[in-house]
Structure 1
Amino acid sequence: MQASAQQAKRSGQGGLRRNGMLHLFLLPSVILLIVYSYIPMAGIVIAFQNYKTYKGIGGSEWVGLEHFRTMFMDERIVQIIENTLVIALSKMAAGWVAPLIFALLLNEVRILLLKRAVQTLVYLPHFLSWVILGGILTDMLSEHGIVNAAMRALGLPSVFFLGSGGWFRFTLVVSDIWKEFGFGTIIYLAALAGVNPALYEAAEIDGASRLRQTFHVTLPSIIKVGVVIGTLSLGNVLNAGFDQVFNMINPIVAGKGEIIDTYVYKVGLLQGAFSFATAVGLFKSVVSLVLIALTYRLAYKYANYRIF
């Protein structure tokens, strides 16, 4: 056993020497990660303090779990967590199904030029900022916007998309899917490209239609990719999309549209309650960490997916 351990150690040292240049290329990214992600984590101590900017972290009074008790006693927090879960879960479900269906449909297109053109068009919104899209959608979905104008022209009643809580959530989900499903489609198309063509030939010989081939060949072949995407997305169950909500929310729909991230922004930066906002953010981060660990475990168990 000792000889085996020594052999493994020598093998690891040899691999480090062989890949030394690759590790050197990785060094700048590691340094940036430490400087901008890990060192600032020391600031979470203010969640347990009555932090005052003029006193600093060292001079502020320690209050223990007082801010966490205040958080769980605040009725708004319950509503905000509910909003976050409803919006995030809706996005996750629709964001899992929409790319899969579109990838299956696009995979049936036999004209290569058309297929690539459509794939490029649906992928382009992924690169647009929510600052830009928020302004465009606010204008298009307003009372006098192009969408309501078209609905009135068809004899349909106008819809206050950004002024009704239910419609606002629906708008968030649909606009997020429109922006991001092109990226998910690429992942599924890559998985579809790896399906063995002999399986389709065998199914066709057996008399299977294209629909049956989809259900009995295509879907079983890419189901592991779908499981990985679905399980890993669970780690974002408390991330409902700060950029999108921040650029589209208004006071009328705040009761149904306020999420944890926008609440932390308003309480922490606008109202100056840094300690309370940090406590809320820390609570969210701890829950997200647990969910991420759980989802990686599920991905490994059901799809044999692992990073290390």
Structure 2
Amino acid sequence: MHAEKVQQLLHSINSVIVGKETEVRLLIAGLLARGHVLLEDLPGMGKTVLARTLAQSIGGAFQRLQFTSDLLPSDVVGLHFFNPKTGNFELRRGPVFADVLLADEINRATPRTQSGLLECMEERQATIEGVSLPLPEAFFVIATQNPIESEGTYPLPEAQLDRFLFRLSLGYGTRTDSLAIMRRFRTDSPLDDVQPVLGAQDIIQMQKEVRRVHVSEAVENYIIDLTEASRTHSSIEVGISPRAMLALVRASQAIAYIDGRSFVLPDDVKLAVPPLFTHRIRLTMEAELLQTERDVVQELLQSVPAPVETGVQ
């Protein structure tokens, strides 16, 4: 296991991002589980800084794409253009051909352009004028959006939301965090000093090792119980799909791997459930007036008994 390199990656990101250790762990877990992450928060919370810090820490090819209402699918995946010098059509690859893609303010683009990412995120390939081209093996999307601004935005369709393993929010932080941020960024940005601690090939190897993390039968049944509870809860109209259930398994394996274990504990599942379930369930109309998705997910975690940890290895 690349335990030392994982800790170096955590340390590199936490040297820039203040007081968000859990969110950083989940972001790295999303990467190692071969998923993608949606950062949903107010402007100025550090979403872009977090994405850039991760990209600089792994030393892969990084592309940032600012989503706007006039962005076209070809601006995302690429196109063939006529070169008058050679007299031939040539391929111009889009920004998706990168190890880490930051899709900034993704909900400002039209649904047609947003759908241009669907194939890339799920199949890890891009189709340009009928020709399918593979993306880098470590391809990872970090998308950001503002949850309260609705003017000039287009809500992400359910099919695309489901492609994001986690939806994370950074939040304001404590007074102590604010003081640390003020002092850390007072002179120069610590982002300027971030150096790669591992490469794309290290990430690919870690992703393979994550799949080998053991999941006991007790933990498997716990994941199934949580999935079925989401489908029968009185406040939930649409529960967790089989694809999301498999995503929970991969996410739990990645969290265990980051913690240096070769087996999954129920606590790994509990940590992964809120950011994985909240954007996939749909509440009933009555429940929406009284509760949030996070409230209902916490009810699920409290109502479904977890297996005893001594028997899950």
Bucket of the pairwise TM-score, normalised by the shorter protein: under 0.3
Q: More helix by proportion, 1 or 2?
A: 1
Q: TM-score, normalized by length of structure 2?
A: 0.24
Tell me which of the two structures has the higher relative contact order, counting C-alpha pairs closer than 8 angstroms and 6 or more residues apart. 1
* Greater gyration radius: 1
Q: More strand by proportion, 1 or 2?
A: 2
Q: TM-score, normalized by length of structure 1?
A: 0.24
